[in-house]
Amino acid sequence: MIAVIVNPRSRANRRNPRIAAEFQAIVGDRGHVLAPKTIEELDAMAAEIRKSPPTVVAVHGGDGTLHKTVTALGRAFGTDPLPPIAILCGGTMNVVATSLRIRERASVFLTAIVEADRSGQPLETIRRRCLRIGAELGFLFGSGLPANFLAEYYAPSGYGPGRALLLLAFFSALWHGPFIQRLFKRFEGSVRVDGALLEQTAFVGLMAGTVREVGLGFKLVHRADDDPERFGVLAMHSAVLSLAFDVRAVQTGRGIAPSRAFSAVASQMDIQSKNGSIAYTIDGDLYRTTEPLAISLGPHIDFLKPLSALIVRPGGDTMVGQR
């Protein structure tokens, strides 16, 4: 059976409120579509899923929806393995899907999953660890510039890729203005990576992730794929203007130069703010805390590979790889 979780507040669902009904028509008797309106409803649905785990949990929305769903499933399943997850892209940000090269239209991907479930055909998966940040599970953490950028991105005047590009385009024109001061306000405090204290105490941005992409084609957490049992860490500490020299390297996945940023793979990252407050993001959702933050490894997540991962033999049989 298949459980499909739809975020009714995601951009795609606001544009087309009939998506849940359309997905239910695709799923038919092979499962059911759930559309929780609150975190409490999502937790209750995750608890029901735990009682009779489905073959697949398909998640429709953006990165925030995925992060909240995985967190709810993690609470419900505890130390037991989570069901395989299928990402049905439908949000403002789909960074995790982009990192995993999942680009299929949601309805096409869901149809393929239903047909495979009906025929008993196994599907190949991509295994990733997630991050545990406090009580939340996610795939990409950021503080400093990443959180500041998203605060502007989600400003009341609207958001989306166009706004993001506009923010980047006007950096130089507004360099001495309040906008840039807000955007590049440094995080000040102490950072430990696997117990080792970094010598710097002021950072343009701090990041941790089990995926490399952060949006707009930038692969900032370039070491996220180095070790499947650890996560990538990036701590940018140089002057802001000097980071311009690394733009091409970040786009191609080579990362920021070691003289301008610390990067590593780790199992634990501990952050404590000098002023007692930390603004941060998990998969595009914004948070703030007055407590020190501990970032560690969360459970394994098995993501279904997209339709293009299936190889069809001339006789019509489908060959899939092993997990």
CATH of the domain at 94: 3.40.50.10330
pLDDT at 309 over 90: no
Confidence at 50, pLDDT banded by 50, 70, 90: very high
CA dist 148 and 186 (Å) reads 9
pLDDT of amino acid 120: 87
Residues 151 and 273 in one domain: yes
pLDDT of amino acid 126: 92
pLDDT of amino acid 43: 97
pLDDT of amino acid 178: 62
Give the H/E segment covering residue 47.
helix 39-51
Which has more pLDDT, 214 or 191?
191
pLDDT at 308 over 60: no
pLDDT of amino acid 246: 86
pLDDT of amino acid 289: 94
Strands (E), the chain: 2-6, 31-34, 56-61, 85-89, 125-133, 136-138, 140-144, 187-193, 196-197, 202-203, 205-209, 231-236, 261-266, 268-273, 278-282, 285-289, 293-304, 311-312, 318-319
Residue 35, number of CB atoms within 10 A of its CB: 21
Evaluate whether residue 132 is within a structural domain: no
Evaluate whether residue 129 is within a structural domain: no
Residue 70 burial by CB count (10 A; 0-12/13-18/19+): exposed, middle or buried?
Answer: buried
Confidence at 313, pLDDT banded by 50, 70, 90: very low
pLDDT of amino acid 8: 82
Provide the domain count of the chain. Answer: 2
Evaluate whether residue 189 is within a structural domain: yes
pLDDT of amino acid 279: 93
Confidence at 58, pLDDT banded by 50, 70, 90: very high
Evaluate whether residue 53 is within a structural domain: yes
Residues 72 and 176 in one domain: no
For residues 260 and 237, the answer to whether their CB atoms sit within 8 Å is yes
pLDDT at 25 over 90: yes
Evaluate whether residue 310 is within a structural domain: yes
Q: CATH number of the domain at 268, please.
A: 2.60.200.40
Residue 48, number of CB atoms within 10 A of its CB: 11
Q: Using one digit for the tens of pLDDT, what is the confidence trace for 211-253?
A: 998 877 789 899 999 999 999 999 999 887 787 888 888 888 8
pLDDT of amino acid 283: 94
Confidence at 169, pLDDT banded by 50, 70, 90: low
Evaluate whether residue 29 is within a structural domain: yes
Q: What is the mean pLDDT of residues 122-145?
A: 93
Residues 294 and 309 in one domain: no
Residue 83 burial by CB count (10 A; 0-12/13-18/19+): exposed, middle or buried?
Answer: buried
Residues 26 and 47 in one domain: yes
Q: What is the mean pLDDT of residues 288-294?
A: 94
Q: Which of 206-210, 305-309, 314-318 has the lowest mean pLDDT?
A: 314-318
Phi (first) and psi of residue 275, to 5 degrees: -95, 5
pLDDT at 164 over 80: no
pLDDT at 32 over 90: yes
Average pLDDT over the chain, rounded to an integer? 86
Residues 168 and 114 in one domain: no
Strand-pair partners of 311? 319
pLDDT at 294 over 60: yes
Residues 152 and 84 in one domain: no
pLDDT of amino acid 320: 36
pLDDT at 145 over 90: no
Residues 79 and 205 in one domain: no
Residues 100 and 146 in one domain: no
Confidence at 163, pLDDT banded by 50, 70, 90: low
Residues 75 and 115 in one domain: yes
Residue 90 burial by CB count (10 A; 0-12/13-18/19+): exposed, middle or buried?
Answer: buried
Residue 80, number of CB atoms within 10 A of its CB: 10
What domain range includes position 201? 137-298
Confidence at 93, pLDDT banded by 50, 70, 90: confident
Evaluate whether residue 130 is within a structural domain: no
Residues 148 and 293 in one domain: yes
Residues 102 and 154 in one domain: no
Residues 9 and 105 in one domain: yes
